[in-house]
Amino acid sequence: MPNVLLTNEQGVQEVFAVPPSAHSRFPSVWSGGTGSASGQYSVPDPPKRARPTKIGTFMRSAYLVGQLGTCDRARVGVSLVHVDHIVAQGYNGAISGEAHCDDVGHDIQNNHCVRAAHAEANAIAFAAKQGIQLLGCTAYITIYPCWTCTKLLFAAGIRRIVYGERYAVDERVEDLASRGRISIEKWLEPR
């Protein structure tokens, strides 16, 4: 039973024994800390925070911006990242100021909606408009890219692609990757 030294009204120091029940009000402080075994009371170690991964953060940013898409055949988003910073984003939709598929329906040709510009094309066009260099960026895309967008990304200097869903895989994209011209990988973390 630990002792506590107190000074009474007459200035005389007295030793009091503290019953164990007095500690139970502060169990995490008085009985849990790293110093309790040696008699030195301390606060317990704080719980460790699980920091999100960078790849997960950039992928989730692509999913988030993809929610702005205006063609419900595919709500696709992309984040273009340079040295851990998002430098451009894009989502699938009609060009600025034109009617949205969600409002007036799709414009289908050869089983594709041609009203909407693809997310990757919109991100690259935004970068061109703003004078943002994309050389060496990584593209985080919510779905596997089509061949046209892969060519645009490649032409802009992007050689690494991370995608979320394996959708409409194009053998020309696979071939480019198999010959080491680009790196393409699936994001494997839980959503």
The footprint of Zn ion (CB under 5 A) covers 71, 101, 106, 113, 115-116, 118, 146, 149
Beta-bridge partner residues of 81:
86, 138
CB of 148 to Zn ion, least distance (A): 5
Nearer to Zn ion, 61 or 102 (CB): 102
Are 5 and 13 in contact by the 8 Å Cβ rule? The answer is yes
Between 59 and 123, CB nearer to Zn ion = 123
Residues 124, 148: Cα–Cα separation, whole Å: 13
**23 vs 100, which CB is nearer to Zn ion?**
100
Nearest distance from C-beta of residue 44 to Zn ion, angstroms: 52
Q: Please count the other Cβ atoms lying within 10 Å of the Cβ belonging to residue 50.
A: 6
User: Smallest gap, in angstroms, from Cβ of residue 76 to Zn ion?
Assistant: 8
Closest distance of CB 105 from Zn ion, Å: 8
Minimum distance from residue 145 beta carbon to Zn ion (Å) = 6
| Residue number with CB closer to Zn ion (38 or 109) | 109
In this structure, the number of other CB atoms found within 10 A of the CB of residue 21 comes to: 7
DSSP H helices, 131-182, are 147-155, 171-178
* Smallest separation (angstroms) from Zn ion to the CB of 116: 5
Cβ closer to Zn ion: 18 or 128?
A: 128
- Closest to Zn ion by CB, 4 or 104: 104
